[in-house]
Structure 1
Amino acid sequence: MSKELVFGHQKPDTDTIAAAMAYSYYQNQLGYETEAVALGEPNDETTFALKAFDLAAPRVIKTAANEVDSVMLVDHNEPQQSVADIDQVAVSHVIDHHRINGFNTAAPLYMNVRPYGCVSTVLYEMFNEKHIAIPADLAGMMLSAIISDTLLLKSPTTTDHDKEAVEGLAKLAGVDYEEYGLQMLKAGTNLAAKSDNDIVDGDAKSFEMGDLTLRIGQVNTVDLADVFARQADLEKAMQALMDANGYDTFVLIVTNILNSDSDLLILGKDAAKVAQAFGKELAANNRINLPGVVSRKKQVVPPLTAAFA
């Protein structure tokens, strides 16, 4: 059996890193030869989690076909979010919690896609179904992933499955998930040292909607004013990324993790239509306010997909 690489999407977040590590471990227990890798460096939040559980970050790759013939995908399936040469390797497995879009293979594969708040929750159930014990440090990373994706179980994407997984993983990791989770989330909101490009594109994904390409980034904070004090420079970074990559529209979701509200900063073609998708008018400062909106996957992408269909 040939070695396979396991990885998540570009601009990796905590769930992508944790899921790659967890699924690689899971598959190795079943007799596969796999290695967890990443398509970028871990962000501040993920680095905090890795240090908390004394784990090393997966190595970063740019391409896969130079190493393996087959790969396993976690936390994504859309080709534009994957490794640059995804079309040159076979995909044998996909574990995800997102929509299926633009994905096809030449041969049958194993897919497990469940509508949960976090792919690490899917993996937690898979470990239990196969009666594979989860090591304490890996449980800590999976716990961190669910806390991150569900904003400490406050996001509307949160399901009962996520809540059960958090309880179980916290016991395995030996931590108080509420205390630890708040510390981890705050570690990810330290934006003062981040570049403008890191803020707008550090957790961004591209989406094909109609005949347009929308780039949607998200950044968490404990004070929206801290982010928008830099708005002019953030807009320059967004415009530069649109010019360099051919994005039609760039949407930056700025989320306050303390009150679960977001402001959207919108630039590019049909920016007004983006605002209209949420029943709003685009303000002169290129922003709209969306109280209670924290989830890109469930609360932002669906109305935009409908608006641009």
Structure 2
Amino acid sequence: MNKILVIGHLNPDTDSITSAISFSFLQNQLGKNTEAVALGECNEETLFALNYFKFDAPRIIDRASNDTKDVMLVDHNEFQQAVSDISELNILAVIDHHRIANFQTASPLYYRAEAVGCTQTIILKIFKENSIAIPKNIAGLMLSGIISDTLLFKSPTCTEEDVRAAEELSSIAEVDINSYGLDLLKAGTNLSNKTAEQLIHLDAKSFEVHGKKIVVSQVNAIDFSDILSRKNEILDVLNHTISESSLDLFVFVITNILEGDSKMISAGGLINECEKAFNTKFIDNEAFLKGVVSRKKQIIPSLMDALS
């Protein structure tokens, strides 16, 4: 039986990694031969979840065709966020909760996208639809994905479905949502050992908006000052990346998980558009975004409107 790789997006976050693992497990229970793989190193938050529930990090690849022609995508669909040889592959399935863009296939596929806060919420439904029992450790990873993507239900992307799914999964995993959730999110704020280059690529996503190439990177923190003390170094790396990759805009978002606000460092030729998008002024390439925590629901739509 041919192997199928289950793959999350570039610069993987907790939902991307854990969704690949849980969906691979589900597909194997249904008789497929799959392996969850990653397109980059796991971040500190993801490593906390993997260690807590006793999983090894998935194998890292940069091309899938070295292993197989068949893949399933989780937590993304846009080709610029996918494995480098995506256009050469046979995409069998996509499970996602983002906009659909820059995506096409030569053959029919199973495509499931829902307006929820986390891919794991959708995967839980698929487990139920197929009457597949969820092991305790898999449930823990699925819960971790929901907590991470919804910022423990504080993100505007969070839905009642996400909350109900988290409650169900926490019962299976036998962990307290709030206690475990805070520990998980705090683990993700431990960035002191990261270089500026690593910081801006920890959770960076590329988009093409009305012909403009932009990257939006986001990290979580419990104190803005820890990261802003390195602002000049970060700006140097942002500007270098813009030049090297021919980008129009690179925004680096620092989200305070305790206060529910963000600060944005912006570089490139679209600062005026950023000011318009968020109705604010950038001073020395920096702006405060009150109540903004979601890249998917708040940042990207605002940028799309400003660039239209």
TM bucket (normalised to shorter chain) is over 0.9
Q: CA deviation at 1:287?
A: 1.4
Task: Look up the SS of the partner of 2:108 in the other structure.
Answer: coil
Question: d(CA) in 2 for partners of 1:217 and 1:66?
Answer: 29
State the Cα deviation string for residues 113-153 of structure 1 (Å, max 9, x = none). 00100001110111112111111111111111100000001
Task: Look up the SS of the partner of 1:123 in the other structure.
Answer: helix
Aligned partner of 1:296 in structure 2 is 295
Question: d(CA) in 1 for partners of 2:129 and 2:260?
Answer: 34
Q: CA deviation at 1:165?
A: 0.7
Letter in 1 for 2:60: V
Q: CA deviation at 1:196?
A: 0.7
Letter in 2 for 1:149: D
Matched, 1:180 2:180: yes
Matched, 1:268 2:284: no
Alignment of 1:138-153 (within 5 A): 138-153=138-153
Moved over 4 A (4+): none
Question: d(CA) in 2 for partners of 1:3 and 1:51?
Answer: 26
Alignment of 1:227-242 (within 5 A): 227-242=227-242
Question: d(CA) in 2 for partners of 1:235 and 1:98?
Answer: 28
State the TM-score, normalized to the length of structure 2.
0.98
Question: d(CA) in 1 for partners of 2:174 and 2:269?
Answer: 49
Question: d(CA) in 1 for partners of 2:275 and 2:9?
Answer: 27
State the Cα deviation string for residues 250-294 of structure 1 (Å, max 9, x = none). 1011100001000111110112211211122222x1112111110
Q: CA deviation at 1:82?
A: 0.3
Question: d(CA) in 2 for partners of 1:294 and 1:107?
Answer: 37
Task: Look up the SS of the partner of 1:93 in the other structure.
Answer: strand
Aligned partner of 1:51 in structure 2 is 51
Task: Look up the SS of the partner of 1:125 in the other structure.
Answer: helix
Alignment of 1:140-219 (within 5 A): 140-219=140-219
Letter in 2 for 1:78: E
Identity %: 47
Task: Look up the SS of the partner of 2:197 in the other structure.
Answer: helix
State the Cα deviation string for residues 170-194 of structure 1 (Å, max 9, x = none). 0111111100110111111012111
Q: CA deviation at 1:207?
A: 0.5
Question: d(CA) in 1 for partners of 2:247 and 2:140?
Answer: 37
Question: d(CA) in 2 for partners of 1:170 and 1:152?
Answer: 13
Letter in 2 for 1:275: E
Question: d(CA) in 1 for partners of 2:130 and 2:175?
Answer: 24
Question: d(CA) in 2 for partners of 1:291 and 1:125?
Answer: 34
- Structure 2, unmatched stretches of 5+, are none
Aligned partner of 2:243 in structure 1 is 243
Letter in 2 for 1:276: K
Task: Look up the SS of the partner of 1:9 in the other structure.
Answer: strand
Question: d(CA) in 2 for partners of 1:148 and 1:269?
Answer: 32
Task: Look up the SS of the partner of 2:9 in the other structure.
Answer: coil
Task: Look up the SS of the partner of 1:134 in the other structure.
Answer: coil
Aligned partner of 2:113 in structure 1 is 113
Alignment of 1:84-99 (within 5 A): 84-99=84-99
Letter in 2 for 1:151: L
Q: CA deviation at 1:41?
A: 1.0
Aligned partner of 1:63 in structure 2 is 63
Task: Look up the SS of the partner of 1:111 in the other structure.
Answer: strand
Aligned partner of 2:3 in structure 1 is 3
Alignment RMSD:
0.9
Alignment of 1:4-43 (within 5 A): 4-43=4-43
Aligned residue-pair number: 308
